Amino acid sequence: MADGSSETKSSNQMWGGRFASGPDAIMEEINASIGFDKKLYAQDIRGSIAHATMLAHQGIISAEDKDKIVHGLNTILSEIESGAFEFSRRLEDIHMNVEARLATLIGPAAGRLHTARSRNDQVALDFRLWVKEELQKTEKALTALIAAFLDRAEEHADTVMPGFTHLQTAQPVTFGHHCMAYVEMFGRDRSRVRHAIEHMDESPIGAAALAGTGFPIDRHMTAKALGFREPTRNSIDTVSDRDFALEFLSIASIAATHLSRLAEEIVIWSTPQFGFIRLSDAFSTGSSIMPQKKNPDAAELVRAKTGRINGSLIALLTVMKGLPLAYSKDMQEDKEQVFDAAESLELAIAAMTGMVRDMTVRADRMKAAAGSGYSTATDLADWLVREAGLPFRDAHHVTGRAVALAEQKGCDLADLSLADLQSINPAITGKVFDVLTVEASVASRTSFGGTAPAEVRKQIAWWRARN
Ligand code: ARG
C-alpha cells in the first residue's frame, strides 16, 4: 500500500464498517499523522504487549492469542527498526499501521488486541511514554551542562570580571561566580524536569475511549508493566489530558530562555570589543568574505531555537484551550510541536555544553575590564560607612563626587591621590586604597551566595555533592 495510492477510495479496514467509500485524498492528507507519529512505534508496541499480556492474564483473551500477538508485535518492531516496514498513509497513524501489519502476520488473533482499549487511551499512553523518556534524556543532558559549568567555575573561582546591571559595569565579580549563576538556573530546570516526571508518572491505558470499559481489565498491572507509578484516576481526564506535553514544553521554554541568555552573553563576550572569551574552532564558523572573522554561530542558533521552542508551547496551549472534554482530533497536533521542541532543546543543550567546555577564558581581559568603569565605587561608599561612620546615603554622595573627579581627570578611583580624596571628605585615610582594587572588592563580598572566591567554592562543593 503506497502512500496516496488509488486504493484510498476503499473504506478503512479499521473503522470502515459503516462507510460505503473511503476518504477524499484531501481528507486523508489532513487526517493522517503517520508522517510524524511513526516516531512513537516503540512506545506503541511496548504498550500493546503490556495490554495483550494483561488481557490474557485476566482471561479476556486466550494465552495462545496473546503469544501470537506478542510474537507478531516483536516481529513488527524489528521490521521497523531495520527499515523494512512499509508505513501507509491510508492507515492514518502508527496505531493502525502496526495493527494492520499484525493482522497480516498472525491473522484473526490480531483483531483481539484492541479489546478494552481505544486509540484515545493508546495515543495518550504512547505519547506520555515518549515524553517521559525525553524528560529523562533532558535530565541527563542538563547534568552534563551543569558539570561543565562546575569545572569552569572551579578553574575560575578567583578570576575577576566586571559584573553588570543594565549591561553597564556594576561591581567586580568572579567568572566562577557568574558560571555558578548558570548552574543555579540549569539546576532549577533539572528539578522542574524531575517534578514533571513525577506528575506524569500515571498510566493512561485502560481509560478506553473515554468512559472506561466493562471488561475486567487490570490497570494496575499494565501501569506496573510499563514502568508507571500507578494508573490515572479519571478516564475522561485521561484521554483529554495533554498537561504532560504542555509541561514538557513549558520546562523546555524556560530552559531555552536560560540557554538563550547564555548564548547572548557568549555572543557579547566573544566580540573583539569585549574579548572575554575565545570560542574554540569546533564551535565557531568563518565568513566567506571577511577572512578575519570568527563567528559565534552556534550561540546564535541556540538563541534562535528558543523562539521555536517558545512557539511550540504557545501553539499547543492554543490548540488545547478551547477543547471540550474528552478527546478531539485537534489533539493530534500535539506531537509535532513536542518533537520539534525536544529536538531543538537537545541540540541546544549539547551545543552549549560543548561551547562552555571548549571556550578559552581570557582572564587578563576580564580583569582589565573589571577595573574600569569605577566598579569599586560601592566599596568606597561602604568603606566610608564602616570606617568614617557616614550614613550610607551621604557616603553614596561623597563617592559620586569622587567618581566625577576621577572622570574629570581621566583616571580610575584607585588612581586618585589621597589629597584628591580628602578634598572631597577629610575623613578619608590612606587605608581606603586597600578596598579600591577589584581583588579586594571581590574578596570582601563574603555574604552567603556572594562573589568572594571562598564563598563561591562553598557553592561549588554544594553542587558537586548534588550533581
Ligand atoms: N492519531 C491520533 C492522535 O494522534 C490517534 C487517536 C485517534 N483517535 C480517534 N478517536 N480518532 O491523536
167 in helix, strand or coil?
coil
The catalytically annotated residue of 6, 166, 288, 447 is 166
Neighbours of 271 (CB within 10 A): 11
The pLDDT, as a whole number, for residue 104 is: 98
Closest CA to 113 of 242, 14, 203, 237: 14
Does the beta carbon of 44 sit less than 6 angstroms from any atom of ligand 1? Answer: no
Q: What is the DSSP letter of 300?
A: H
Ligand 1 centre and the CA of 331: distance in Å? 8
Q: What is the pTM of this model?
A: 0.92
Does the beta carbon of 119 sit less than 6 angstroms from any atom of ligand 1? Answer: yes
Does the beta carbon of 239 sit less than 6 angstroms from any atom of ligand 1? Answer: no
9 pLDDT higher than 70: no
Q: Is 258 a catalytic residue?
A: no
Please tell me the least confidently modeled range out of 42-46, 255-259, 277-281, 344-348: 277-281
Radius of gyration of the chain (CA): 31
Compute the distance between CA of residue 427 and CA of residue 425 in angstroms, rounded to an integer: 6
How many distinct helices (H) and strands (E) make up the chain? 18, 6
Ligand 1 centre and the CA of 209: distance in Å? 10
- Indicate the top mutation candidate among 87, 120, 210, 316 to test ligand 1's pocket, ranked by most ligand atoms within 8 A of CB: 120
> Residue 446: which pLDDT band, with cuts at 50, 70 and 90?
very high
Q: Are 89 and 28 in contact (CB under 8 A)?
A: yes
Compute the distance between CA of residue 399 and CA of residue 150 in angstroms, rounded to an integer: 36
- Indicate the top mutation candidate among 14, 34, 130, 329 to test ligand 1's pocket, ranked by most ligand atoms within 8 A of CB: 329
Ligand 1 centre and the CA of 92: distance in Å? 9
Compute the distance between CA of residue 9 and CA of residue 23 in angstroms, rounded to an integer: 6
The pLDDT, as a whole number, for residue 10 is: 66
Q: Environment class of residue 137 by beta-carbon count within 10 Å: exposed (0-12), middle (13-18) or buried (19+)?
A: middle
The catalytically annotated residue of 78, 287, 372, 417 is 287
Helix residue ranges, H only, 359-437 = 363-371, 377-388, 392-409, 418-424
The mean pLDDT of the chain is 94
The pLDDT, as a whole number, for residue 462 is: 98
